[in-house]
Structure 1
Amino acid sequence: MASVTNALRSGVFGEDYVKLADKVALALSGLPGPGRRDAMRRLAEVLADKQASGDGSAVHHFVESLEMTARMTRSRDYRIAMARVEAAGDPRDINDVIAMLEAGADESGTNAA
């Protein structure tokens, strides 16, 4: 984590990225370990793309998404929702599913058309 945020702080990617480094470090610290590793990998990819193309919009979008994700992971309701294990639905016969689609009915039993 430190190497990427240090690269941002150093100005290698431009002066506007120096300010982003603190946002990135704060957001990453709010993520669980596996999520932090995935986010760092993705950040490195986005920064490499920025270096190649010169377009920094993907970096800014990624940082905004990272901040939103970090805020969500601190939310009690979000953690509860993520902890729920979704039960498997009743298995359906493929012919019944095809017939339902051909009839144009949605899950509520109303006509989708």
Structure 2
Amino acid sequence: MDRNYLDEKSVTDLGRIMMALMSEVWILKDRTMLLEHALEARGGLAKDELENMQIPEELAAKIDAERDKFATLVLSAPIAGEKRSVKDILERAGIKDSPVYETAE
């Protein structure tokens, strides 16, 4: 069975996914470092507090939802490369419940 996953189109798709992922990860890393620095400087966060934190159920649910949106954004990067309208991108990525979807053309 031929399993050629990385044809020319696949390599381009993979490149788009990687660039989207790298951008999102850097933004998160940068903001996290700034927030941790500000909180530690103000005495509002102990150095190891985040590593030992017990996450409340409500926050865990919010984190799960954000993780799903993040995964959809990254994995839909190849779609964005082919479909240029916001509505097409959201529809193909399965994000029809976005408030942006209703107003997109």
The alignment's TM-score, normalised by the length of structure 2, stands at 0.30
Tell me which structure has the larger Cα radius of gyration.
Answer: 1
